[in-house]
C-alpha cells in the first residue's frame, strides 16, 4: 500500500560494481535480482512517484524491471559518481512530479531495507522540524534518506 502520493523515491542503480566484478544489481536474493526487489519496495511506498536511475549495464538492468510499474532514467554520466545519479533522479522528480513534497533516496544493494523501514522514515519526516531523515546502521548515517524538496531547487 502506498504511504503518500507526495513522496518521491529515487532508486540509485547506475554503478558498475567494479570492485565486485559483477553487477550487484543483478545478484539474486530470495529468487529475484536485488534491483527488482528494491524497485518493488520503492513502488510500494510511493506508487507512480518512484524512479530508478540506471547507468552502467542499463540494458541488462532494465530487463529485470519489465514487470514492475516504475519509471526509469539513464544517467549517461554514471561514472562521475553517485552525486550525478542523485542529481538525475532529483531532476526527474522536479520535472515529472512537481507536487512531490519530499524525495527518498535509496540504493538497491541493501537487502535489509524493507517497505516498513521506508514507511518509518516517511512517518518520522512528517513530524515537526524534520526536513531531512536518514537511516543509521553500524555507527554510520546514510541511505535510505528523505529530503524535503526545498533542498532540490538547483538540480
> Is residue 98 in a domain?
yes
Instruction: Confirm if 123 and 27 have CB atoms less than 8 A apart.
Output: no
> Is residue 1 in a domain?
no
> Is residue 2 in a domain?
no
Residue 150 is predicted with a pLDDT of 82
Is the pTM here over 0.85, yes or no? yes
Residue 53 has pLDDT above 90, yes or no: yes
Residue 23 has pLDDT above 90, yes or no: no
114: domain CATH number is 3.90.550.10
> Is residue 64 in a domain?
yes
Q: pLDDT tens digits for 74-123?
A: 999 999 999 999 999 999 999 999 999 999 999 999 999 999 999 999 99
> Is residue 104 in a domain?
yes
Average pLDDT over the chain, rounded to whole?
91
> Is residue 60 in a domain?
yes
Split into its structural domains, the chain has a count of: 1
Domain of 30 in residue numbering reads as 7-152
Amino acid at each position: 500500500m502506498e504511504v503518500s502520493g507526495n513522496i518521491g523515491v529515487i532508486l540509485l542503480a547506475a554503478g558498475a560494481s567494479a570492485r565486485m566484478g559483477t553487477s550487484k544489481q543483478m545478484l539474486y536474493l530470495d529468487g529475484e535480482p536485488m534491483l527488482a526487489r528494491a524497485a518493488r519496495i520503492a513502488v510500494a511506498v510511493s506508487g507512480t512517484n518512484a524512479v530508478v536511475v540506471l547507468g552502467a549495464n542499463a540494458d541488462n538492468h532494465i530487463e529485470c524491471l519489465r514487470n514492475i510499474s516504475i519509471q526509469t532514467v539513464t544517467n549517461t554520466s554514471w561514472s562521475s559518481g553517485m552525486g550525478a545519479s542523485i542529481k538525475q533522479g532529483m531532476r526527474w522528480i522536479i520535472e515529472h512530479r512537481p507536487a512531490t513534497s519530499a524525495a527518498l533516496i535509496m540504493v538497491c544493494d541493501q537487502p535489509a531495507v524493507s517497505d516498513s523501514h521506508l514507511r518509518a522514515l516517511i512517518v518520522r519526516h512528517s513530524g515537526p522540524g524534520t526536513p531531512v531523515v536518514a537511516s543509521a546502521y553500524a555507527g554510520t548515517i546514510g541511505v535510505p534518506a528523505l529530503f524535503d524538496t526545498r533542498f532540490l531547487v538547483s538540480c
